[in-house]
Copies of this chain bind each other. A is one copy, B any other.
Amino acid sequence: MTGKQFTSVWLREPRKAASPGLSREEIVRASIELLDAEGLAGLSMRKLGAKLGAGATSIYWYVAHKDELLELVYDEVWGEMTMPEDVGWREAASVLAYSMRQVMLRHPWSADLLGRLPALGPNAMRVASGMRRMFRQAGFEGLDVDYAGSTLTAYVYGRTLPEIAWNTSMSDREYDPDEMRKMVLTAARDYPDMLEGLDFDAYDDPSAIQAVAFDFGLVSVLDGLERRLPA
C-alpha cells in the first residue's frame, strides 16, 4: 500500500495476453466480488486464489504485486462514475459529484483507495478528462481548470470518506438512535458548544441527514467556484 517508488500498472506494458487459464479481467472481477463482500481487509491473495480455483501465487503472473491489483480494481470504480456531456457545467458537476458519492457508498472499500493510489487508468482518465472539458467549457482558464477540478473532487472525497467509515463501524450492530444520543452526550459532556443548537431528531434517520449535508456542501462549493470564473 505504501508506495516505495513511483510506478503504476498503467505505465508499463501488460503481459502478452492470450492466456488459456486465468486472466486479468477474471482476477479483477473476482477481487471486486471479494471486496464488496468482505471489504479491503477481506481481500487476501490466498482467498482470491481459492475463489479462482487457483494457487495464491499464480496471480503473480498477471500482476506484479497486490498494489497493482488494487490499481486495477480502483480503475473499475472510476468506470462506474457518470460524467455527463452536453449539459451546463453546474448540472454536470452535480451529477458527477453525486455519482462519485454513490459509487463510493456502493463500494465502501474504495474509500481506502481513492486519493491514495495513482489514478492513471483509462476509466479515471476518462472522468478526469471529461471534468477538464467541463470546467473549460464553464469558462475556467489555465491552471484554474485543474484547481476547480481538484476542489470538487476534494470535497466529495472528504465528505464521503467519513460517512463510509461511520457506516462500516455501524454495520455490524443494529443502529439504536437512543443509544447514539446517549453516546454523543457522554462524549460532549464537557463541551457546551457541541450541544448548543444540536438537533437530536437528526439521529433518527442519519442517512437522510448525511444526504442533506452533502448537498449543502456541494452547492456551497459550486457557488464558490462560480465566483472564481473570469468576468
Residues of A near any B CB (own CB < 8 A): 1-6, 8, 10-11, 39-41, 115-118, 120, 122, 125-126, 128-130, 132-133, 136, 141-148, 150-151, 153-159, 161-162, 165, 168-170, 172-173, 183, 186-188, 190-194, 196-197, 199, 202, 209, 212-213, 216-217, 219-225, 227-228
Contact = CB atoms under 8 A, between A and B. Distances in A.
A27 to B, nearest CB: 22
Contacts of A143: 199, 202, 209, 212-213
B129 A183 contact: no
A44 to B, nearest CB: 14
A191 B128 CA distance: 9
A141 B3 contact: no
Contact of A168 (B3, B183, B216): B3
A118 B3 CA distance: 26
A120 B187 contact: yes
A225 to B, nearest CB: 5
A5 to B, nearest CB: 5
Number of copies: 2
A225 B217 CA distance: 8
B191 A11 contact: no
Contacts of A186: 11
B222 A6 contact: no
Given A129-B192, A148-B220, A216-B228, 15 more contacts: A6-B169, A6-B183, A8-B187, A115-B158, A118-B169, A125-B190, A143-B199, A151-B155, A151-B216, A151-B220, A153-B158, A155-B155, A155-B221, A220-B224, A223-B228
A154 B158 contact: yes
A114 B59 CA distance: 33
A194 B132 CA distance: 7
Contacts of A165: 3, 115-117
Contact of A194 (B129, B169, B172): B129
Considering the complex of A and B, which 3 residue pairs feature the smallest CB-CB distances, nearest first?
A158-B158, A224-B224, A220-B224
B10 A142 contact: no
Contacts of A190: 122, 125
Q: Which of A40, A132, A209 has the most CB of B within 10 A?
A: A132
